[in-house]
Amino acid sequence: MAKYKVVQQLDKCIGCGACAAVCPENWVMKDNKAHPKKKEISDKELEPNKDAEDACPVKCIQVKKA
């Protein structure tokens, strides 16, 4: 059951790869942009996705309660 939503502003992504480095479980690089594999995540997936949110230098990732 999804408890959190992963929101990304793709147009702001600069393709630095930080999110994919700290959370390869859910972030993949494609065409010089990052993409989340899942936009709805559970409790156990929260921490690495929060790490991705914190790591993003342009703050274009938000992890929110669903």
- What does the binding site for ligand SF4 look like in residue numbers (CB under 6 A)? 8, 13-19, 34, 55-56, 58, 60-61
- For every residue of 20-43, DSSP letters joined together read HHH-TTTEEEETTEEEES-SEE-H
**Min CB(1)–ligand SF4 separation in Å:** 25
CA nearest neighbour of 40 among 9, 10, 7: 7
Cβ 46 to ligand SF4 shortest distance, Å:
17
Residue 1 or 31: the one with the smaller Cβ distance to ligand SF4 is 31
φ, ψ at 63 (rounded to 5°): -110, 120
- Tell me whether residue 34 or residue 63 sits nearer to ligand SF4 (CB atom): 34
